[in-house]
Amino acid sequence: MNEHQMQQQKRITSDVLLVGQPNVGKSVLFSRMTGVRTIASNYPGSTVSFTQGKMRYDDNNYTVVDAPGTYSLEPSDEAARVTIDLIDGAARIINVIDAGHLERHLPLTLELLAQKKPLILALNMSDEAHHHGISIDTKKLSKKLGIPVVSLIARSGEGVRELIENTFTVPISESREQDEAGHPGHHPHIKRSPHHGKPGEHVHLDRNLIWNKVGSIVDEVQIIVHHHKSIGERLEELSVHPIWGTAIALLVVGTAFSLIRLIGEFIIGGGIGIVGDPWISLPFGTELLFTEVLGPPLDWLSELLTPGTFFHKLLIGSLVNGEIDFEQSFGILTSGLFIPLGVVLPYLISFYFVLSLLEDSGYLPRLAVFLDRFMHRLGLHGYAIIPTLLGLGCNVPGIMATRILETKRQRFITSTLISIAVPCAALQAMIIGLVGRAGLLPLVGVYGTLFIVWVLISIILRYTSKEFRPELLVEIPPYRLPAIGALMNKMWFRITGFLKEALPIIMAAIVAVNILYQLNIFEVIAKIAEPVITKLWGMPKESIFPLLIGILRKDVAMGMFAPLSLTVKQLVIGSVVLSMFFPCLATFVVLFRELGLKSGLVSIGIMLASVFFTGTMLNLIL
């Protein structure tokens, strides 16, 4: 989109605009005010998103907009520029700040005061501040700033009512001219950006003024009583300690991955330790649900349709040893339901549960800090680990999360790596199921190869560009006990997203497989691709089918390996090649949308080169 088009965009107007720094609980307050019906969208012409919703108050509907988290109104980054635009279209502003860190948040408040819009200050997380022995004289603060100040706890809803009432009693046309003239509520004169004089000095002078002003306000309104370090604070220090922190990181990551497998296996099989002999076994699980509940009616349907006919193939698939095999039959009602609901869904639930715990507790940024040095050697930032971990669930949100990275090139490298070498939970569920049956070593082989590919590609990409990589500078949020409600909401959102988007594609993929089989189209393609597949990769020529279907859905494709009776070596090569070869349709679309056509094509080129190389190498080495 060019400048001209951007200017023609309609201004986003709002009755109430929430502005604040990241991690102040702005979105929690937002959902308290607006309820569930909200729309998150990208601000026109930017990668920054904001959320819009409606609030009912006194029988009127008001539009509430949650601006992106921003540290200041200096238009030095996209979030700030978007916020400035949103302020222009706002009738009233609520500035949300963390009551425990006045001195960090008041500079933005002073900048907002200079905007001359009705402004209310919301001191959020006042309970946390209280725990830290901080008390704030809100009346005095209100008088100093000349605006209403409300302290609240957005998480529990305490004080939200009072905030909303205050918001609508601030007159819209209020002018703060008298403030400019040296009123007690006077704020320093802040220029948005230095357009004249030597650039450096001007900002410096203004900033110093702000810091002094903030310092004097904080001294007057805030009292801190010394308190002993809480367990949380002790843990925060330990988890960035060079030695203890490393131990904690290993422990957390190890526990997370074991937990994901345990919970997944438990939901599928009702037991723990399915790959070997289960230690615990319960008459429960999706596997049993399918064979016991769905089995009998499908057996009946199978007889009715007569095996071998077109509709039998489509709905039931082919029988294995005269019986329906939910994994291998490949009909819409058998594998079409079992793969997404019986195998993939349990692992997805378990993955997102564990990931949300890590996210909401505040551990992920600490892991990013620890890995920063290692990731820098690979030409990446420590924070690139967060989209990568997300990609292990589903590549789509993973690639979308690369937006947290600063430069275009960082985003390109991280998304390319995710789409090539990071298998999603759906694919992993199938890999663990099929390859894990052959033992732990082949499974380690698959994951090990993908990890090596991930490292090698990033090292190669690193040397193709001498881009300056900005150094890490980031606030580490405090540890917080994850709120169960919010966690469940997020999981529900992610899982229904999978069901809505993936289920139809899985069904379509299975229909496509059956139709292409019957029309012998696969035979033609298999002939063309045969040399690469059989000579270079040592796979049977039929494995072209799963590879092609992998473009639609990887989990379905992996399931198609099952009836091919592959050797362990072929299974390992097949899993690796399938993971790397063309990302699934959804990932493909998002990759091009995020990177643009040119970079998207380069990314696909890198993918093709590395998949041919890796498949061939594995065939030679193994």
Partner 1 sequence: MKTHLSDLPSGKEATIVSIQGGVGMQRRLGRLGLHEGQRIRKTSNIAGRGPVIITVNRTQIAIGRGMAQKIEVETV
- Contacts with partner 1 by CB under 8 A lie at 71-72, 74, 76, 100-101, 103-104, 107, 132, 199-200, 203-204, 207-208, 211, 233, 236-237, 240-243, 245-246, 365, 369-370, 372-374, 382, 471-476, 478
Smallest gap, in angstroms, from Cβ of residue 48 to partner 1? 16
Nearer to partner 1, 319 or 369 (CB): 369
Dihedral, CA of residue 158, residue 164, residue 165 and residue 170, to nearest 10: 140
What is the phi/psi pair of residue 212, to 5°?
-65, -45
Q: How far is CA 526 from CA 278, 331, 537, 609, in A?
A: 40, 22, 14, 20
| Closest among 54, 211, 226 to 132, alpha carbons compared | 226
Smallest gap, in angstroms, from Cβ of residue 477 to partner 1? 8
Which residue is listed with tokens 């092609």?
Answer: 548
Nearer to partner 1, 466 or 500 (CB): 466
Q: Which own/partner pairs from 178-183 qualify as long-range (CB within 8 Å, at least 24 positions apart)? A: 179/113, 179/146, 183/146
Nearer to partner 1, 193 or 309 (CB): 193
Which residue is listed with tokens 């110093």?
Answer: 208
Give the count of alpha carbons within 13 A of 514, CB side only: 24
Smallest gap, in angstroms, from Cβ of residue 239 to partner 1? 9
Smallest gap, in angstroms, from Cβ of residue 458 to partner 1? 18
Nearer to partner 1, 23 or 291 (CB): 23
**Could you give the CA distance from residue 517 to residue 515 in angstroms, rounded to a whole number?**
5
Q: Retrieve residue 323's tokens.
A: 């019986």
| Closest among 280, 284, 298 to 346, alpha carbons compared | 284
**Could you give the CA distance from residue 199 to residue 45 in angstroms, rounded to a whole number?**
27
Nearer to partner 1, 75 or 436 (CB): 75
Smallest gap, in angstroms, from Cβ of residue 372 to partner 1? 5
**Could you give the CA distance from residue 138 to residue 572 in angstroms, rounded to a whole number?**
64
Nearer to partner 1, 382 or 546 (CB): 382
Smallest gap, in angstroms, from Cβ of residue 60 to partner 1? 37
**Could you give the CA distance from residue 424 to residue 350 in angstroms, rounded to a whole number?**
13
DSSP 37: -
**Could you give the CA distance from residue 435 to residue 444 in angstroms, rounded to a whole number?**
10
Written as one string, the DSSP assignment of 321-364 is TTB--TTTSB-TTTHHHIIIIIIIHHHHHHHHHHHHHHHHHT-H
Smallest gap, in angstroms, from Cβ of residue 76 to partner 1? 6
Smallest gap, in angstroms, from Cβ of residue 194 to partner 1? 9
Nearer to partner 1, 161 or 241 (CB): 241
Smallest gap, in angstroms, from Cβ of residue 151 to partner 1? 18
**Could you give the CA distance from residue 242 to residue 295 in angstroms, rounded to a whole number?**
55
Nearer to partner 1, 383 or 581 (CB): 383
Nearer to partner 1, 243 or 621 (CB): 243
Smallest gap, in angstroms, from Cβ of residue 134 to partner 1? 9
**Could you give the CA distance from residue 262 to residue 350 in angstroms, rounded to a whole number?**
8
Nearer to partner 1, 128 or 179 (CB): 128
